[in-house]
């Protein structure tokens, strides 16, 4: 298999963490990819017409894209149980919440990287951050108990989302007022799979 990947992307990191946790990392060739909607650059457009990563090329069928699709496939391939049937809807919802945090945080970055300064909208950036704040507050208030159980895909997604906030929006201090979530993240970040995939760029 081949994985089109960028080490800074939290969506790609999700997939790499899963590959490590399930013992499949050696079954995948990592291919670099980078670009934006304005300049697709190295994005695998033939494999994913949306021009996004990650993309997983597999021998038995069309390439898979969207990190949640790829993660479901790799989990099923390994029989790893990261989407436990007894908590499936909770895991999927929390994974979607983490992915929404990633989406909003990335859009904040794109606003400054892809738009000329005169066209940037500070209110729009703050609107994206408000999505992040609401999601983090909801997790702190309602989801901490879901994070205490055996490893699942929601935990991986959330760990990657919080890592991206530290990387790109650290000055906003997402930990403030969220002691339970901050304590969980501190422990989860010490997992070998998270340490090995920590973004530095």
From the list 121, 122, 120, 111, the residue with the least C-alpha distance to 168 is: 111
Q: Identify the pLDDT of residue 116.
A: 85
From the list 178, 184, 185, the residue with the least C-alpha distance to 162 is: 185
CB atoms within 10 A of CB 162: 26
For 85-197, CATH number out of 3.40.390.10, 3.30.43.10, 1.20.1050.10, 3.90.580.10 equals: 1.20.1050.10
Q: Identify the pLDDT of residue 200.
A: 80
Q: Identify the pLDDT of residue 90.
A: 97
Q: pLDDT tens-digit profile of 122-165?
A: 999 999 999 999 999 999 999 999 999 899 999 999 999 999 99
Q: What are phi and psi of 66, to 5 degrees?
A: 85, 125
Average the pLDDT over each of 23-37, 162-176, 184-198 and give the range with the smallest value.
23-37
Q: State the average pLDDT over residues 47-68.
A: 95
Q: pLDDT tens-digit profile of 11-20?
A: 999 999 999 9
Q: Identify the pLDDT of residue 186.
A: 98
Q: What's the mean pLDDT when you consider all of the chain?
A: 95
Radius of gyration of the chain, Cα coordinates, nearest whole angstrom: 17
CATH code reported for the domain at 2-78: 3.40.30.10
pLDDT band at 101 (very low <50, low <70, confident <90, very high): very high
What are the residue ranges spanned by the domains of the chain?
2-78, 85-197
């Amino acid at each position: 298999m081949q994985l089109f990947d960028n080490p800074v992307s939290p969506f790609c990191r999700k997939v790499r963490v899963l590959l490590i946790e399930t013992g499949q990392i050696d079954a995948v060739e990592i291919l670099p990819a980078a670009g934006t909607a304005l300049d697709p650059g190295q994005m695998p457009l033939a494999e994913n017409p949306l021009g996004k990563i990650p993309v997983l090329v597999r021998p038995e069928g069309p390439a898979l894209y969207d990190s949640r699709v790829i993660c479901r496939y790799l989990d099923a391939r390994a029989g790893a149980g990261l989407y436990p049937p007894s908590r499936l809807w909770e895991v999927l919802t929390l994974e979607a919440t983490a992915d929404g945090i990633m989406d909003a945080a990335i859009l904040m970055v794109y606003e400054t990287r892809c738009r000329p300064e005169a066209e940037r909208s500070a209110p729009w950036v703050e609107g994206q951050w408000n999505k992040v704040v609401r999601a983090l507050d909801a997790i702190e208030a309602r989801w901490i108990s879901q994070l205490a159980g055996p490893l699942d895909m929601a935990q991986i997604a959330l760990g990657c989302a919080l890592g991206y906030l530290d990387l790109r929006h650290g000055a906003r201090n997402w930990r403030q007022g969220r002691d339970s979530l901050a304590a969980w993240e501190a422990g989860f970040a010490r997992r070998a799979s998270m340490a090995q995939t920590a973004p530095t760029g």
